[in-house]
Structure 1
Amino acid sequence: MEPVLPPWPATFEEVGTARLQVRRTPGPDGVPAVYLHGLGGSSTNWTDLAALLAPVAGGTAPDLPGFGWSEPEAGFDFSLEAHADVVARHVREVGAPVHLLGNSMGGAIALILAARHPELVKTLTLISPAMPDRRPDPRRLSDPRMALAYLPLVGARVRAQLAAMGPRERAAQVIKLCFADPSKFPESRLDELTEEHGARAGFAWAAPAMARSTFGIFRAWSAVGKASLWSLAPLVKAPTLVVWGREDRVISVRRAMRTARAIPRARLLVLPRTGHVAQMERPIAVAKAVLGMWEHVEAGNW
């Protein structure tokens, strides 16, 4: 078994008025990569893929406001647009244009940024992006009780039950939801995730940030007209790779073809035996596809 890489070194960086924890992957001079994690995730979700891409592109993976160790600034509204504005400032400081990669919520944020600021994005990789998917399926939740957590009367009791869970149990639930085969998740990675969940339990802002970002996604899914993610997708000018796991329980693979068709220069890769976080579960397959896109773009034939 190959050794498991530790997370990339992290520092706190000022991004406009926000203060984010950012993990940096060293690489050659050239177009950098920027990696955006999903709801409830963090910059550590990109450890393996960033390592595989590092010989071609160094990268940065920020903890988005309210996630990982990035405390949200006062007044942050946790909409996808607000997250995209923070990322746009980060991209400008890193040196645009960048190779932008996003998973789940991070994929929706990346799409918004690419549509509204095409000058900042050289290529776009969307891994199970959070495109509107309103099916009422309890299998999408790491714990079915989460569906009741914000209802009147029962919500407070359910939230107390969820808060009483240990960090390792919560971490294992997340992996069970997001991986097609949770047994493939390395034990050392579970240790890392457990430590992260334990630390976040002590942050007063963590739970509200999770709830408000969740509602921000639901608001985006309910938007119509020009504000809809489906309306923004055709505005993306960057060459785009859309990656989906065939066994994704969070955002259905049924959204994959529509997403790829909505983006003018997109191609689609659907991976078998893969769940919601393909960059973690199948990093080599994803890296090959991303590197292939970058090569085709440089050759002018994407």
Structure 2
Amino acid sequence: EHHDPIFERLTRWTRVILVDPPGFGFSTPKPGFDFSLRAFTDAYTRLMRELGAGPYVPCPTCTNVYPCALIAAEHPDLISHAILMQALDWDKERIWTSKIVDPNGDLARPYTGQELIYRTRGSAAANWYPNAVGDSRHHESFLRQACTCFDHGGNFCLASLIQAWFGPEAATPVFPPFHQPTLTIWGMNDRSHRRSDKRSLLAIAPHARLIEREGIGHFPEIEDPVWFEGILREFLTGIDAGSGRNLKPSIPQPLMRDH
């Protein structure tokens, strides 16, 4: 629901596919889902295959960048272009998570972390938006929408993700190179990332073009949907003009953020 304004714009000229990550929003994970990066990657891949609407232009933010990068490398027929937003390379993302998202290590503790995030998810959102959103005028409406989703059964399995991705037994993933045209976008008013190395994501996508945008924060496409639509149109049109192809992309886009 946070994405309604950008979806209203994009659906005028392309097909938009909305994806709730398993364990977030209204996508309840099956009992065997282990929240590993591989589990997310395989789930998205199966969904894309079953929909049969590819090739896709994924526009993920934060943690969803990593499974999308793997899909682009492992299943290049599914991805034509990619826009990767508000993410770091893996090691720096691990450090950022431990310092900003879970500074006391409470969410990293199995069972107690799950209980804690369920009990405090409303207050977690209230603390998160003022730090992450670039324009304070969005804080109240973003928080109200998140809490409405919680009240209607929305999932927020952040502790499970942190434990599976960055726990003591979690292996550091290898990101094979991929070659699809790619943008990496950073909202520079994301205070949670004020000290982050924005260029570090280029370790995963070294061929990408980096765009740094002042005035927006952790959610570039929903904080300024008019600007984002323009960036998307320019990106697709500019690249395909040389090939003479008329691309009509489908865009998988998470509804709710992982944090």
* TM-score, reference length from structure 2: 0.77
**2:61 aligned with 1:119, yes or no?**
no
List alignment gaps of at least 5 residues for structure 2: 244-259
Q: 1:105·1:217 contact (CA, 8 Å) conserved in 2?
A: no
Per-residue CA shift, 1:207-266, capped at 9, x if unaligned? 6x322212233269x745xx334xx3xx21211011012233445674432323652542
Please, which of 138, 143, 158 is the counterpart of residue 190 of structure 1? 143
> How far did 1:139 drift?
6.5
Contact (CA 8 Å) 2:56, 2:81: kept in 1 or not? Answer: yes
Partner of 2:238: 296
Which residue does 2:95 correspond to in 1? 135
Question: Secondary structure of 1:300's match?
Answer: helix
Give the 3 Å change call, closer, same or farther, for CA 54–198 of structure 1 in structure 2.
Answer: same
Q: 1:150 to 1:166 in 2, by over 3 A?
A: closer
- Structure 1 gaps of 5+ residues are 1-6, 8-43
TM-fit CA distance, 1:91: 1.5
Do 2:189 and 2:216's aligned partners in 1 also have CA atoms closer than 8 Å? yes
- Percent identity over the alignment is 23
Between 96-105 and 273-282, the greater mean CA deviation after superposition: 273-282
Q: Are residues 50 and 228 of structure 1, via their aligned partners in 2, closer, same or farther at CA, if it must alter by over 3 Å?
A: same
**Aligned AA for 1:100?**
P
The residue aligned with 1:66 is 23
Pairing of 1:192-271 with structure 2 (within 5 A): 192-200=145-153, 206=155, 209-218=157-166, 223-224=171-172, 227-229=173-175, 232=176, 235-250=177-192, 254-260=196-202, 262-263=204-205, 265-271=207-213
Q: Which of 94, 103, 119 in structure 1 is aligned with 2:61?
A: 103
How many residues are aligned here? 240
| SS of residue in 2 equivalent to 1:243 | strand
Q: TM-score, normalised by structure 1?
A: 0.67
Following superposition, the deviation at residue 187 of structure 1 comes to 3.9
Structure of greater relative contact order (alpha carbons < 8 Å, 6+ residues apart): 2
8 Å CA contact 1:99–1:124 kept in 2: the answer is yes
